[in-house]
Structure formats: C-alpha cells, structure tokens
Structure 1
Amino acid sequence: RIRDLPRPGIAALLRSARVAPAAASLETVAFALAPRLNAVGRVGDGTPAAQLLLAETDEAADTIAADVEAANGVRRELTKAALEEARALADVAAEEPAIVVGGPWPVGVIGLVAGRLAEERNRPAIVVSTAVTPWRVSARSAAGFDLAGAFATCSDLFRRFGGHPQAAGADLHAQDLESLRSRILALAEAAGPFDPRPELRLDLVLGCLDLDYVLLRELARLDPAGPGNPIPLIGVEGLVVTRVRPASGGHTQLTLKKGLEVLDGICFGRDDLVGQVREGDRIDVVARLSSRMFGGFESLQLEVRDLAPTGTLAEARRVFAAVAQATDAPSAAEETSRADEPPALVGAV
C-alpha cells in the first residue's frame, strides 16, 4: 500500500524524507517514517503525528509534515548535544562495567542516548534525566545484561519502573541516584566481564571486486531483518579511499574504489573517521551492502560499521582458523583412547 497508494500523511512523510513511494521498504518505515513520527512526541505534544496520519488531503498533510520535519530536526540537535555530554561523563568512568550517567537532558531523548552508548561501548547504559521531578531513567542493554532483572532488584529505589531484558525505564528520586549507580555496577560486575568493543558478526568475507548487484539481490532474499534475523554483514577486502568528508548528523561519507569502479560508503554516527581515514588509504571494511537512488539511477552503497587497514580481515581469518583447529584437535587422552579402538571401516557412513 505504501508503494502503490500511500495515504496523504505517509506520502507527505516520504516527500520529507526524499523517498519515492515505489522505492519504499521496511527500512524506509524503520529509519525514515517512524523516527519522524516519534520525534514529535519526543520534543513536545505528539498530537500532530496523529493528525498527519489522519489527514485527508495532500495540502493538509504537507502543512503538518513540515511541522513534523521541524520537530525531527530539533530532536536530532537535542540528541546530539545530550549524547556529547553523556559520552564525556561516561569517559570519566570508562573502566566501569556499566554506564550510569545523568544530566538535565530532555526526557524524550534519553532513551536514544542510552541506546547509542550501549551500542558504542558494548555495556549496559543507564541514562537519567534530571530535568523533571521525579528524575526519569531510561536504560538499554548490551552483552546480554538483563535489565528487567536488574531493575526488579532495584525496585525499592523506584517510584515506578518497567521494561524487558533489553530496555527498561523508571522514575527515580534524586537522593537515590548513587544507590542505583552502586547496585547497577555491582550487578554488571557479577554478570561480566564485558568487552568494551562492540561485537560484529560477519556472514561473509569477500574481495571488493565481488561486490555487485547479484550479491545485493541475493542478500535481499534474507529480508525482513529484525530480532532473530539480524542484518547480514559482509567483510570487504582491498578497497581504496578516494574521498572522505563529514556528513550532517554526525556521519562520515566515503568514496571507495574497487578496481576501476567507485562506490559510496556511509558511516552512520562515526564522525570521528574524518580525521582517521585519508585519501589513498587501502582498507578492509565491515558493512551492509545496500543501494541508493540518485537522479533516477541506482548505485551500490556500503553502510560501513567499521574499517581497518587492508589485511586485517585476512589476519582475522587466519586467527579464527587456528583457534578452530586447536579447538577441534583431539587431546592426548582422546588420542590414546582412539588408539585402543578397532579401525573404522573404509567407506563407512
């Protein structure tokens, strides 16, 4: 329905996001439509979001969509500012097994901040807004830490709370913040240790010349992605950087060369790469293969999750193979036991 005959409100949102209806996908809903609708309630009254979805004409929808787009811009700026402050506070206690930070941040963005911190540092993140009374708590999990269980253990500190293992929230009195911090850190310490490096699971490693539309279509057959079916990530070897530039929103855009061809790369949330990657660098990347439309033409794009000098993936494969071989190798006791067994029949199944 979104592709063929979207309602006026959805069509207006698609225009705001510069997505043609025919090109809409599950990602469009998750990363273009839903964030814009959610933004209204995050920075104020959420009524315009409902009004937009109920709009009967394109004219009415476009007027409301302009307000929604403005709210989304405010949400981005508020989140960016709060995230920078929260990162600085987390850096002070960088060795602790969990992140517990607080500040006068808008309640509507602390969940986004907690999610980013947990993703970046692979540790549970608890973010507290001191801008309201009682203070509001929003938490996101990492490394399998059970937030629902943790918050239940701390229930005597909360005015109210709720959630599930991956995300939780609560109302907290100011005088109980330090008690919450000490309990969460103790629970995280008992559940650890946590590797601070985010984990990336690769589904495929290949040379850059093997990136093509055939592979893109094959990977698309694995959709829809989500809990229990994560987005396929590929390791790509031997790319050459031809351009690096910052993109609005705290991202980095790359132009990458594979053989005689070039393709675009986008590193969401990685503005730090601008000063680390230079033209001419030969790199390996971990990315999601996607495509984008521009000027009526489709082109391949890599949504880069991480990168390193060329040779890193080859070395990782070598180490993995060595570990796997060592793990599968029989022990001395097993070898002795096998020596006492009768020989197996050749060709037995």
Structure 2
Amino acid sequence: MNYNWKYEAPEASAVGTATRLAKKLNIHPILGKLLADRGITEEDAVRRFFSPKLTYLHDPFLMNDMQKAVDRLNKAMGRKERILVYGDYDVDGVTAVALVYKFLQQYYSNIDYYIPDRYEEGYGISMKGVDFAAETGVKLIIVLDCGIKAVEEISYAKERGVDFIICDHHVPDEELPPAVAILNPKRADNHYPYEHLSGCGVGFKFMQAFAENNGIEFNKVTSLLDLCAVSIASDIVPVTGENRILAHHGLNCLNSTPSVGLQAIIQSCGLHGKELSMSDIIFKIGPRINASGRVQNGGESVKLLVEKDFNAALEQAANINQYNEQRKELDKAMTEEAMNRAKSLTGFEEHHAIAIYSKDWHKGVIGIVASRLTEQFHKPAVVLTENEGFATGSARSVGGFDIYKAVQQCADLLENFGGHTYAAGMTMKVEHVNEFCTRFLEYIDSHIEEVQTQPILNINGILEFSDINFNFYKQLKRFAPFGPGNEKPIFCTKRVYDYGTSKVVGRGQEHIKLELIDDRSGKVINGIAFGQSSQARFIKTKNAFDICYTIEENTHKKNEIQLQIEDIRPSL
C-alpha cells in the first residue's frame, strides 16, 4: 500500500510546552510532544494519564436511568424473579453477558444467560428470545450491546409480562424502546460525562452502581475487568477517558489474574507467559471468542468465559480454536472471491467505496471480509449476503469517515440497521439490494473528503537512532494501552542504510528482517518489515532510505528493542 506520510512540525509555542513537560518529567522531548499532542499539559492531567486509577472513574449514577435500573434489579432479586442476561453474539456482547452474569451469580441463583443465534434470529433482540424468556418464567431481561432500536420486540415483551433493562452503546433512533431503564451514553438526553463506552463497559457501570447501592466491595466488580479490556480492544472503541482506565486495569488483570476461561484461551493460542497487549486481544483472543458466534453459537463463548474448572475450560477453548480454524478457511475463500468481484465492478477505480452482494456467502464472516476490503483498497466497504429470505450486510470504514451515516441515509430501504462510526450492520429485502448499493456509493462519493481517500501514516516525531534505547521504550510504554484516540506513536528516521545483513524471511518470503544504520550516529538497530519483501532489492542497493516505524520490545532478546517498519521509501 502506498502511504502518504504526514508530519506537521510543531509550532514554537508547542515546542516550548513539550520541552517544559519533558524537563519536568525527565523524559525525552519527543515524549513531551506526545503528551502535548494529546492535550495533556498540566501536572494533574499528566498524573491521571500515566496513572489511570480506578478512583478516577465517573459516578455510575450520572448515567440516565441508572437509579431506575438498579431499583428494578433489586426488586427482581427481592421478589426472587427469574432474570435473563441477554447479549449480542460478538466479542463485546459475549464479554458483557459474561461479566454481568458472573457478577450477579455470586449473589443470586435464579439467573441465566441467552445469546441469539446469528443465523436463525439475527442481530439483537428476537421474538424467539422474548418467547423463550416468557415461557421459562423470566420477568426481567438485562440486554447488553444491543436493544436500543428494539421498539417492537420490547413492546411485545411488555405484553408478555417481561421487563427490559437496556445496556447499549449504539446510536439510538429518536424513538426509544419502552424499557424500564435505558443505559446508553449516546442517548440524545445523555448526562454521562463519557460517551464512548463499549457494551461491556456499560454493563460494568451497571454492576458498579448495583454494588455501590448494595454495599458490595468495589473489587468484586473490578476483578472482572479482564472482560472489559477484551471488549474495548475488540470493538475498536476509543482508548481515551474512562475506557483508558478500564483497559489499563483490565490488561493488568488479564496479565496477572485472568478468569479461568480467558486463561484457557490465552494458553490455547500460545500467549501463555507473554505480557499481553491490546494487539494480542485484537489478533488472537478476540477472534477466537468471535469464532463461536460466526460458526456455531455465541453461547459457547459465554459458557467458556464463565467456566470455573480449568480443565473443562481447556476443552471448550480447544473447540473454539477449531471454530476459529473453520472461520479462517471461510474468511480466506470469501475474501479472495470478494476481492476479485470488487475489482471487476463497473467504475471500481472511480468510486470511493465498495458495495458487493452474493447470496451464497457465509453470513458469519461478511464483517471480516468487509474489513479486508477496506484494508486492501482503503475504501469504505459493505458486503451483503442472503439469509432467511433477507439480505444482510456488514459495513466497515476508513479513518475519519462515518459509515453509520452512509447506512442511515438509506434507512427507508432497510428493515433494521445499527452501528457506529467505523462499523455498521443492516438487513433489507433482497429486492432493495441494488438500490441500496447505488445510494450507498453515491452518498460516500459525494461526502468523503480527499484526505480520507488515501492511506496516511501520521508521523508523531522525527528520531535519530541515537535517541532510541530501552529506556526510551520504557518511557514510551507508559502511554499504553493504545487504540483509537491514543494510537501507538509512529516515528520517522531519515537516511538509513542496510547494515549488510538484512534478509527476506517468512514462509512465503514476504517479510524483511532488517539490520539498519543511520548516517549520523553509526548505531545499528534491528527491525522487521511485514509484507514488504518487494522493497528488499532496493534496500540492498546501499542507497539511503527513510523509514516510518513503531518501537517494540524484542520478544527473543530481553531488554532489547526492535523497529516494526510500517513503510519504506527512498531518501530524497
């Protein structure tokens, strides 16, 4: 992919602020700049950023309807009513259900959980799920990571004597469902200070409020934050504000005292003994949890996440690993077909988006395929298939473009839809697919900005190799956990050379293992450039080139760092 490198040299006033911060904190000036870039310039803000304490979390009762939700839950428990914890089948929904179920199960036994079948019931609250609840004596459903648009379904549940508490984070419509309480920081009348919580995060705030109201020690709730960290990373929500606090402590929990289910997943995917990061969740842990809902039923992932016996958890994790292998095979075949179909579309080069449909594609992986198309072509993409007589689709976006709005402007063609800035899902009658695709493309072509049509590497600072050492890496690590809104810093070093030992590696000889030297310090640093073997011939010419990279710890050599090269280009 041909990236545009974007670096804006700081103004004199910004340099002064960064220098002041660096001196006060005894850190490298570039790290002072990173703080200033994030708007962190005062001592209290720096302390909160580098030490995101749980005491900095917001009062959960600031969220609309929180007192109503706690009161209804207390009432249900007092009356010994049957409670059902209901959630979406993706990672966010599954972890949210596991968190709420595990916490409440410590204090109440008349409780169960329910994950709708992706293929039979589809996304969100289903009439089948409501019927199951009513027929099994459920009087209260706590729904997580969905439900904000389920006006018809919750009205039906009300008629059947079933109350709902909604814990969601997706954008609501003007009409809200007739639930007892609606916990959603994106409500138009929202009073809560932070609106970017994951679905699991909203569930956590509910349990935080319940614990506070009932005199339960807070650490009983925070011991479940490993699930929150998995949801925050997997659902690609901003790692800022309250999410940063939850992710920080969730990662600590994941690395020190993970739940039995997550410990089994960690072991099954070869991460045991490694310090886990948000990237490990995104690329290893999250996909395995997701695979159950994509190939079988998300309820299996909940069963694993609430499991108390480690040997049983290992068996379940092995099953989920198998589902993940099946998912990979489906993903690979569908992605190849979708890539070819996209490139053959009329006007593919001219359009700034991709919209494709096949009735034969597997519903469980269309979201992954949409992500692959977006990554490959740097265009918003929607992938549609047929299921139960309807067309169902998943859309993914590029940085800065709101895909939800593109879907929303086609609302008159849709049976239902939902999502947020970078991901959305929708269902429509098959006869509406062509018009939907046309209008989707037209909207994006007319609303996307030029800067959003090109892949960009935002460079945070220019370094020389003499600046880079393990101490610099340790200081940089304090900026973690990384994610949207707090991206891992990308640096640039100009005029570097192959030290003479760089080589192509990998099964398909697709990567380059580098040893580099710059022409100022004479320092040699190791690096890895994934998927960039096409650059190997140029690198071996001994000509100077510029590199963009992140700084990582070398997992094979303790207390050593290496560069993960994002892009390479000849020096001017």
| DSSP 3-state at the match of 2:484 | coil
Change beyond 3 A, Cα 1:214–1:60: same
Say which is worse superposed, 155-164 or 73-82, in terms of deviation.
73-82
Deviation at 1:154, TM superposition (A): 0.7
Q: Take 1:176 and 1:204, find their aligned partners in 2: how far apart are those partners?
A: 48
Assess if the C-alpha contact under 8 Å between 2:525 and 2:562 holds in 1: no
> TM-score, normalising length from structure 2?
0.49
For structure 1, which segment, 34-43 or 211-220, has the greater mean C-alpha deviation from structure 2 after superposition?
A: 211-220
Ranges in structure 2 where 5+ consecutive residues have no aligned partner: 1-252, 518-522
Task: Point out which structure has higher relative CO (alpha carbons under 8 A, 6+ apart).
Answer: 2
Query: Structure 2 matches for 1:51-66, cutoff 5 A?
Result: 51-66=303-318
User: Does residue 245 in structure 1 map to residue 500 in structure 2?
Assistant: no
Structure 1 residue 37: deviation in Å?
1.0
Q: 1:202·1:286 contact (CA, 8 Å) conserved in 2?
A: yes
**Among candidates 532, 543, 546, match of residue 284 of structure 1:** 546
Aligned to 1:229: 486
Whole-angstrom CA distance in 2 between matches of 1:34 and 1:163: 19
More strand by share: 1
1:154 corresponding residue in structure 2: 410
Q: Which residue of 2 aligns with 1:255?
A: 513
For residue 202 of structure 1, report the CA deviation from its aligned partner: 0.7
Equivalent residues of 1:2, 1:21 under 8 A apart: no
State the match for 2:431 in structure 1: 175
Equivalent-residue separation in structure 2 for 1:56 and 1:16 (angstroms): 17
Contact 1:290-1:301 within 8 A present in 2 as well: yes
8 Å contact kept, 2:470–2:559: no
Measured in 1, the distance between the counterparts of 2:545 and 2:285 equals 34
Over 3 Å counting, the alpha-carbon distance change for 1:173 and 1:276 in structure 2 is farther
Q: Is residue 99 of structure 1 aligned with residue 354 of structure 2?
A: yes
Q: 1:125 to 1:52 in 2, by over 3 A?
A: same
Runs of 4 or more consecutive aligned structure 1 residues displaced over 6 Å after TM superposition: none
Pick the aligned partner of 2:400 from 144, 150, 153: 144
Contact 1:139 1:169 in 2 (8 A): yes
The code of the aligned residue for 1:180 comes to F
Q: Structure 1, residues 110-154: CA drift from partner, whole Å, max 9, x if none?
A: 112222322333322111124653121111122533322222221
CA distance in 2, matches of 1:263, 1:53: 39
In structure 2, the residue corresponding to 1:227 is in which secondary structure?
coil
Aligned residue number for residue 468 of structure 2: 211
Distance 1:166 1:34 in 2: 18
The within-5 A match list for 1:296-315 is 297=558, 299-309=560-570, 311=571, 315=572
The aligned amino acid for 2:550 is: R
Q: TM-score, normalised by structure 1?
A: 0.77
2: CA distance, partners of 1:16 / 1:62: 7
What amino acid maps onto 2:285 in structure 1? Answer: L
Residue 61 to residue 192, structure 1, CA distance change in 2 (3 Å): closer
Q: Which moves more between the two structures, 150-159 or 138-147?
A: 138-147
Q: Within the alignment, does 1:265 sit opposite 2:524 as a pair?
A: no
Q: How big is the shift at 1:213?
A: 1.6
Distance 1:286 1:45, change over 3 A: same
Q: CA deviation at 1:80?
A: 2.3
Cα deviation, 1:20-39, whole Å, max 9, x if unaligned, reads 34612333333322221112
Relative to structure 1, the CA distance from residue 131 to residue 300 in structure 2 (aligned partners, 3 Å threshold; closer, same or farther) is farther
Report if aligned partners of 1:6, 1:21 keep a CA contact under 8 Å in 2. Answer: no
Deviation at 1:198, TM superposition (A): 0.8
The aligned counterpart of 2:28 is none
Q: Which residue of 1 aligns with 2:555?
A: 293
Deviation at residue 280 of structure 1 after TM alignment: 2.1
1:187 aligns to 2:448 (yes or no): no
**Structure 1, gaps ≥5 residues long:** 316-349
CA distance in structure 2 between the aligned counterparts of 1:44 and 1:299, rounded to whole angstroms: 42
The one-character-per-residue Cα deviations of 1:279-330 (angstroms, maximum 9, x if unpaired) are 7256433222112423x74543433332223x1xxx4xxxxxxxxxxxxxxx
SS at match of 1:288: strand
Taking a change above 3 Å as real, the CA distance of residues 158 and 230 of structure 1, as seen in their structure-2 partners, is same
Post-superposition offset of 1:203: 0.6
Supply the AA of the counterpart residue of 1:258.
L
Does the 8 A contact of 2:535 with 2:568 survive in 1?
Answer: no
Decide whether aligned partners of structure 1 residues 105 and 205 sit closer, same or farther in structure 2, where only a CA change above 3 A counts.
Answer: farther
- Contact persistence 2:397–2:423 (CA under 8 A): yes
Residues 393 and 426, structure 2, Cα contact 8 Å, conserved in 1: yes
Q: Say which SS state the counterpart of residue 170 (structure 1) adopts.
A: strand
Segment of structure 1 superposing worse, 173-182 or 117-126:
117-126
Q: Aligned to 1:287, what secondary structure does the other structure show? A: strand
CA distance in 2 between counterparts of 1:6 and 1:200 reads: 35
The structural deviation recorded for 1:62 is: 1.6
User: SS at the partner of 2:335?
Assistant: helix
The 3 A distance-change label for structure 1 pair 44 and 285 is: farther
Counterpart code for 1:199: I
CA RMSD for the aligned pairs? 2.7
Residues 13 and 233 from structure 1, CA distance in 2 versus in 1: closer, same or farther, beyond 3 angstroms? same
Among candidates 12, 19, 26, match of residue 271 of structure 2: 19
What is the Cα deviation at residue 106 of structure 1? 1.8
- For 2:497 and 2:471, locate their aligned partners in 1 and report how far apart those are by CA, in whole Å: 19
User: CA offset at residue 275 of structure 1?
Assistant: 4.2
Q: Secondary structure at the match of 1:45?
A: coil
2:528 counterpart SS class = strand
Residue in 2 aligned with 1:201?
A: 458
